[in-house]
Amino acid sequence: MSHELNLDVVDTDGAIRESAQATGLDRGDFIKKGALAGGGLIAGSAMFGTFLASAEAAISTTKRSAANDVKILNYALTLEFLEAAFYQQAVANKAYGANADLKTFAEVVAKHEANHVKFLRRALGSKAIKSPKFDFGDTVKDPAKFAATAQVLEDTGVMAYLGQVGNISVKGTLAAAGTIATVEARHAAWIRFINKDLPAPKTFDDRKSEKAVLKAVGATGFIQ
């Protein structure tokens, strides 16, 4: 089993390649130096899939219903669990280093993601899934790794929310997801700006299916 991230899966928009170029490394060297490898994380697609299967996260793309909305919100909650834990650990470890802009970003977004988790848990009530355990390795300790990983996670989060908009049936659910999705988009633009990347590189944002997002997140090995 590979001990490196599958960046062709995770780096959906070239963020890792661009971050590598910013450090003066080519993409191969960037991977070898572990700029996003998190200290030897193992690709965990199977574990992630198993975890979500227990949460009944198989979202229907053809039949909208209140029950399907619960699956969508639990899917969103899983992603928010990951992001909340990522930023919480990064702040605790001062992964932003001496970068004042990155410090502000990390501290503000950590609060946002924690509140997103609370919001979705309240919305789901007894139907909310439990959080898995995470291991982010060096990505929550090193400023360059943290900044690169944050950009990938935020871009992926935006695409994940967009991918489910058309599957939601209840207006209240759509409103709940929408209020989070727009903030995730602001996060994505913010970290892109800090990384000296274009905050809004496209006229239209991409959207990703549940399967594509889970494959990307699973490939990080962050789920334990």
Reported in sequence order, the residue ranges of the chain that DSSP labels E, i.e. its strands, are: none
* pLDDT tens by residue, 96-130: 999 999 999 999 999 999 999 999 999 999 999 99
Q: Which residue has the higher pLDDT, 134 or 47?
A: 134
Mean pLDDT, the chain, rounded, equals: 79
- Does domain 7-220 sit in CATH 3.50.50.60? no
Q: Which pLDDT band, with edges at 50, 70 and 90, does 139 fall under?
A: very high
Helix, strand or coil, per DSSP, at residue 205: coil
Q: Which residues pair with 134 in a beta bridge?
A: 223
* pLDDT tens by residue, 206-217: 888 888 887 877
C-alpha 84 chain-centroid distance: 9
* pLDDT tens by residue, 56-80: 455 666 577 888 889 999 999 999 9
pLDDT exceeding 90 applies to what percent of the chain? 51
Return the number of other C-beta atoms located less than 10 Å from residue 183's C-beta: 18
Q: Are 16 and 219 in contact (CB under 8 A)?
A: no
The torsion defined by the Cα of 174, 177, 155 and 93, in degrees rounded to 10, comes to 180
Q: Which of 48, 222, 217, 38 is nearest to 135 (CA)?
A: 222
> Where along the chain do its domains lie?
7-220
Q: Enter the pTM of the model.
A: 0.74
Q: Which residue has the higher pLDDT, 176 or 186?
A: 186
Q: Are 20 and 26 in contact (CB under 8 A)?
A: yes
Quick one: 172 exposed, middle or buried, by C-beta within 10 A (0-12, 13-18, 19+)? exposed
| pLDDT for 34 | 41
| pLDDT for 22 | 46
Return the number of other C-beta atoms located less than 10 Å from residue 167's C-beta: 22
Q: Are 77 and 114 in contact (CB under 8 A)?
A: no
| pLDDT for 172 | 82
Q: Are 36 and 149 in contact (CB under 8 A)?
A: yes
